[in-house]
Amino acid sequence: MASEHEAMWQELGLDLAAHDQLLQVLGDGYGQIFLSQQQRPEGMEYFNFVMSEVHGLRIKELVDGQAEGKKVIGSFCVFVPEEIVRAADATLVGLCTGADFATDLVDQMLPRNTCALIKSAFGFKLGKVCPYIESADMIVGENTCDGKKKSYETLGGLVPNLYVMDLPQVKSEQGRQLMAAEFQRFKEAVEELTGIEITAERLAKGIKIVNDRREAMHRLYKLRVADPAPISGLDALLINQVAFYDDPVRFTESVHKICDELEERIKAGQGVAPKGAPRLLFSGCPMAVPNWKVPWIVESSGAVVVGEESCVGERGTRNLVEPKGDDVDSMMEAIVDRYWKIDCAVFTPNPEREEHVKQMAADYGAQGVIHYGLQFCQPYQMESLPLEKKLESQDLPVLRIETDYSMEDVEQLKTRVEAFLEMLA
Ligand code: SF4
Ligand code: SF4
């Protein structure tokens, strides 16, 4: 990434030396994992460019927008209703990160048995290497898993602008009321932050922007049903990850553009792996940038990942906000309807998730499921055992992986993935 952005990074308070180090590692990893792939669709050029400028031009866009009065809101979870943020002409960016950083500082603040995703967010803050955290006018923490909600108590002392959203854990009528009340409170907080009243017209526009992006992703997912797979799982994951940072309208256009190309590839019988290559579905914890380790291991072992049952994937994008009425209250209700259906493992019980995994495996013709659990993530680890038993009882083999962001277990994981593929064959 170009050093022309150094002044901006300095202004944001980044540690330039540490940040350079991060960009170097990110760039090397990207080259090794993504650019070495064969038969990549040409449309991936756009996503390569976004990634190369994820700390550069994209941050400049946000900072320039702030100079014109537009606010930036950061979030760690797909329960934060983006429609409300867009309705106030603000930008929502994902703050989850997929790499260890400043681990010695993090260990002084969080218990060692905290999941890598939470530790990573703290590491990026403490190591002063994340321009998204530093440029955010508001950071939304949500009460989901125990690790996140308790860590926000500490994060509140590190950032000046933390807003905590309470969320239910049970899908009861009272739970739904809590979500509706919290979305209303969030709407008011966004109005106060931006100085913009969220009218029906504005909210309709916010809903449309986010729905359009979801529809583009749904189109991409459907194309992954084809055999041979027209796009690798790694590239599809990358597109899912970029969705959390990029301008949503530009992103939507770029996804449709690559979908046009993928349709042509399917017609021509062209794919990223030979027809009949083993097809796998991922299910479990979200994979934030630059967490590409396990899909990379899987695809470099000759399989192709055809879907992600994950928040950086279909759990995060499933269902549109369906029209319910033209006034603000009806639209807020419609927004709650959509988010209420998210089947995150923090809910108890959470039977929809099992149904979705089965459905996705059937739709995409997956021969097996890789359950991806981050070490110390209790919600997904707890669900993984019963899920494995149920799927296997229906002849859908599962490989349960528990890992973190380090590269120490790469060889061991590769051996397990290869054995799983052999067993499927
Ligand atoms: S896994 Fe649950 S807590 Fe994590 S981002 Fe997804 S919805 Fe939010
Ligand atoms: S991966 Fe698990 S433990 Fe970590 S933040 Fe998400 S739900 Fe919480």
| pTM score of the predicted model | 0.98
Does one domain contain both 155 and 228? Answer: no
Does one domain contain both 173 and 234? Answer: no
The model's confidence at residue 1, banded by pLDDT at 50, 70 and 90, is very low
pLDDT of residue 112: 95
User: Is 377 close to ligand 2, i.e. is its CB under 6 Å away?
Assistant: yes
> What residue owns the CA closest to ligand 1's atom 8?
77
User: Is 118 close to ligand 2, i.e. is its CB under 6 Å away?
Assistant: yes
Nearest-atom number in ligand 2 for the CA of 114 is 3
Does one domain contain both 213 and 200? Answer: no
284: left (phi over 0), alpha (psi -120 to 50) or beta: left
User: 60 C-alpha to center of ligand 2: Å?
Assistant: 30
> What residue owns the CA closest to ligand 2's atom 7?
145
In tens, the pLDDT along 158-176 reads 999 999 999 999 999 999 9
Cα(347)–Cα(230) distance, integer angstroms: 35
What tokens does 272 get?
């990223």
Q: Is the pLDDT of residue 344 over 80?
A: yes
327: in domain: no
Sequence length of the chain is 425
> What residue owns the CA closest to ligand 1's atom 3?
144
Domain that holds residue 114: 3-204
pLDDT of residue 103: 97
253: in domain: yes
Average pLDDT over residues 311-337: 97
Q: Are strands 368-374 and 72-75 parallel, antiparallel or unpaired?
A: unpaired
Does one domain contain both 151 and 247? Answer: no
| 118 CB neighbour count, 10 Å cutoff | 24
Does one domain contain both 44 and 162? Answer: yes
CB 106 within 8 A of CB 122: yes
User: 301 C-alpha to center of ligand 2: Å?
Assistant: 27
pLDDT of residue 54: 96
